Amino acid sequence: MTAAARPAPRYGSDLLVDLLQALGLEYVSFNPGASFRGLHDSLVNHGGDRSPRTILCTHEEISVALAHGYYKATGRPMAAALHDVVGLQHASMAIYNAWVDRVPILLLGGTGAVDASKRRPWIEWIHTALVQGNHIRDFVKFDDQPASVPAAVESIIRAYRLMGAQPTAPVYVCLDIELQEGPLPAGAALPADLARWTAQSPVQADATGLAQAAEWLAAARSPVIVAGKVGRSAEGVTALRALAEGLAAPVIDGFAGFNFASTHPQDATGANAATLTAADVILAADVVDLWGTLRPGPSSGGPRTWSLSPGAKVISLTAAELLVHSWSSDYNRLQPVDLALVGDTKVALPALASLVAERLRPADKGMRETRRVGLAAASAKRRADWASEARAEGSKDRITPAWLAFCLRDAVAKHDWVLSNSSLDEWTRRLLPINERYQWTGGSGGAGVGYGIGASLGVALAHKGTGRIVVDAQPDGDLLYCTSALWTAAAERLPLLMVMNNNRTFGNSERHGGTIAEHRGRPVERRGIGTRVDSPPVDYASVARGFGISASGPVVRPADLPRALATAVEAAAAGEPYLLDVVTELL
């Protein structure tokens, strides 16, 4: 229903739905609740359940994770509606994930009646807080509880504008029941020229600093680029590649989203220590944990030592410090740098790439070409070694994440595919050609388990109808948190292939159990107590079928995996969800 075809708004929430439409929001995910029944009714009956359309989820954590995944796959924010204080509490961990990932979501709450003399007894008292935003204020960019319909219109516009400006982040606007359900106040209307209220230019880095960075990079003998979340913009990705190719510089990809093609000859991901310690100039683009990134060490702990070359210059380019809250330390450890450029890589990297291109000395061409050839040989060797290591795991008794990634690579090779969740212990990037920005949307941000399946729904919703298969390498523990997300996958008929990485354990915790037992000289064999989910084992294929999803497995033997995957991929290629249960070994 276009705005013109819609009836005139009669209630406060009708106008707010008109606003959501005018802002271009396509979907509102939620689990229903009386605190936003006015908004719900307006979405369904005033808006006709189109633009925005409702997506029913069975838990608020799923609603928010879905919106999180959808934004990363499309660059278009969604709204998620959260039932007063209880839905908000269920949603809070997913909001925290989106916050750390700096992903915008328009969170709409319901509350009230704020005027206590009008409240229903009990339920509206226990579900009204002073004010609800307190609960999540530390991990949203903005929250508000407007007291009238005109104020709600302005508040939602402000929230929308703020969440989309770098650094993007979730925002929360809580709507009083009375404001939603009451008749539209006389004179309340949407601004005619909405773009004038919402448009904002990106933050460019300081010109002198960019020129300095270009000088250093162009003159470097061993420049290195580290990419964190450049993939937030297509422009950033294109410029990163141009910059790296111009400089013949290796790129280390943090893989928190797509940054750099995994098969690019200058990809040095996986050779982090050797690459970083050889550098004389390092450009860190959109890297938040720069301290951790520059000290290559074991990912599961252990000593990290300062190992950059003496005199190596570090340039950081990020807008991250424009949004820092103090409650959680998601800003990470402080890293001294030689040049701290504050700006959006979307515009700053293209500018830097041009400035570097102007400064590259023809006399250094030979040096650059030698470097390029060396990098290509090293990257080809790394990938070949990884492939043979993974192939060899096919002769083990049990399926390992490497063998799973290896078989997945072949199974999807003839299709256009997207990876929505989990790196299979980093094996996906090592083995699969992840060369397009849409192919990988990154992890949870806040490392809150339960993100993966919900976010995969959002990614699959984004790609529905494109013919692409969205592959969710799905850890068992993460699915157990939000199992009922499977219902939304079925109801929305999402093109989602869930391939279980079912090690029948909260594996990360089991590994930690082994580490601490070893450290204390206690029996490591007991690390499965309180971590393993194998007695009884969960039959995920039956679980999926119970939600109306076709499924097969469990596949246990490595030799059976290629065939099972081929069947699963064919089923998913038809555009329907499919779950393949694969039992893997915890390494």
Ligand X SMILES: Cc1ncc(C[n+]2csc(CCOP(=O)(O)OP(=O)(O)O)c2C)c(N)n1
Please report, as ranges, the residues that interact with Mg ion according to CB under 5 A.
475-477, 503, 507
Per CB under 6 A, the list member of 47, 209, 458, 475 interacting with ligand X is 475
State both tokens at 245.
């190719």
Site string for ligand X, 77-96 (x = CB under 6 A): ----------------x---
Please, what's the b/e burial string for 154-178 (b: 16 or more CB within 10 A of its CB; e: otherwise)? Answer: ebbbbbbbbbbbbbbbbbbbbbbbb
Q: Could you tell me the smallest distance in angstroms from the CB atom of residue 507 to ligand X?
A: 3
Least distance from ligand X to the Cβ atom of residue 509, Å: 5
| Element housing 143 (H / E) | strand 142-144
Amino acid identity at 496: L
**Residue 304 burial (CB count, 10 A):** 13
Q: Which does 285 bind (CB under 5 to 8 A by kind): Mg ion, ligand X, none?
A: none
Q: Classify residue 396 by its DSSP letter.
A: S
Residue 269, classed as helix, strand or coil, is coil
456 binds, among ligand X, Mg ion, none (CB under 5 to 8 A by kind): none
Q: Which residues contact 102 (CB under 8 A, 6 or more apart)?
A: 167, 168, 169, 229, 320, 323, 445
Tokens of 279: 């550098």
Longest dimension (CA), the chain: 81
User: Measured from the CB atom, is 183 or 530 closer to ligand X?
Assistant: 530
Task: Name the segment binding ligand X (CB under 6 A); options: 328-336, 356-364, 433-441, 444-452.
Answer: 444-452
Residue 448 binding: pick among ligand X, Mg ion, none (C-beta 5-8 Å cut-off by kind): ligand X
Nearer of residues 31 and 474 to Mg ion, judged by Cβ: 474
- Give the separation between CA 213 and CA 317, rounded to whole angstroms: 10
Smallest distance, Å, CB 571 to ligand X?
24
112 interface partner picked from Mg ion, ligand X, none, CB below 5 to 8 A per type: none
Question: Between residues 350 and 507, which has the closer beta carbon with respect to Mg ion?
Answer: 507
Distance CA 218, CA 364 (A): 9
Q: Could you give the string, one character per residue 488-527, with x where binding to ligand X holds by CB under 6 A and - elsewhere? A: ---------------x-xxxxx------------------
Taking the complex as a whole, how short is the minimal distance between the CB of residue 420 and Mg ion, in angstroms?
Answer: 17
Helix (H) or strand (E) holding 487: helix 485-491
CA angle 93, 425, 226 (to 5 degrees): 85
How many angstroms separate the CA atoms of 180 and 203, rounded?
A: 36
When the beta carbons of 478 and 581 are compared against ligand X, the nearer one is 478
Nearest approach, Cβ of residue 495 and ligand X (Å): 23
Query: Would you state the structure tokens that stand for residue 481, as one six-digit string?
Result: 């948190």
- The 391-430 site mask, x for binding ligand X (CB under 6 A), equals ----------------------------------------
Instruction: Tell me which stretch binds ligand X (CB under 6 A): 84-92, 222-230, 475-483, 538-546.
Output: 475-483
Neighbours of 574 (CB within 10 A): 10
Surface-to-core class of residue 546, CB atoms within 10 Å of its CB (0-12 exposed, 13-18 middle, 19+ buried): middle
Question: CB of 256: closest distance to ligand X in angstroms?
Answer: 16
Choose among ligand X, Mg ion, none what residue 478 binds, the Cβ cut-off being 5 to 8 Å by kind.
ligand X
For binding to ligand X (CB under 6 A), which residues are involved? 93, 447-450, 475-478, 503, 505-509
